[in-house]
Amino acid sequence: MFGRFNREINSILQRDPAAKSRLEIIFCYAGFHAVIYYRISHWLWQRGLRFWPRWISQFGRFITGVEIHPGATIGENFFIDHGMGVVIGETATIGNNVTIYHGVTLGGVSDKAGIRHPQIGDNVIIGSGAQLLGAIEVGHGARIGSNAVVVKDVPPNATMVGVPARNVAKSTKPEEQFAAYGVSGDDVPDVVMKNFDEMEKTIRDLTKRLAELEGGDEAAKKWEGN
């Protein structure tokens, strides 16, 4: 277990330029502390215990602000940057080298037994405030932008933004560089303004068509210059 923690500390140093030393990560990173609580509680959960893993999980939540159910399955080098407000459900699965930021929820939307939470692949980045809901599959190398709401499967190497989230990736190839918060500035379109522009165009087209039907060509010409 100590070897795993050592590898996770090294991975944090690689991904977070604000981390200046291993000692700083060990004593000051709430996200790292939350993972330690999870590893202990998950080890007990796998051995059939239920109360004590849950108690450790809730104690870790009180200390770090991060709630990870001990039944979740999390791979190597998991990094919660900044911590606070993160919720990971019981049947969630997270692959290797995954980074998530504060305010992320991997939540369930079903009350039935079985897999209810997101299944996250390797090398995924999930930006702050993102909500991934239900038993969805998130492919390897995907990036989820901040405040995105994801309710459907995500293909590998996708870049998801918006509500509901849509793929705006320009390429299906894996990203070569780490992207903080899931997306770089060049990748994020102004989704809201684009939607407003499309709505405005539709309204203008409909208004012109209505003018044509009610007033003929002269009325229609009135709207062409507007």
191 vs 20: CA distance, rounded Å: 36
Q: Pull the structure tokens for residue 51.
A: 């109360």
Q: Pull the structure tokens for residue 86.
A: 């993160």
Kindly tell me the sign of the dihedral angle through the C-alpha atoms of 82, 140, 176, 3: positive
Are 180 and 99 in contact, with CB atoms under 8 Å apart? no
Packing angle, helices 30-46 and 51-64, rounded to 10 = 180
Strand pairing partners for 120? 94, 138
Which residues are part of the catalytic machinery? Answer: 102
> Which positions ≥6 away from 43 have C-beta within 8 Å?
1
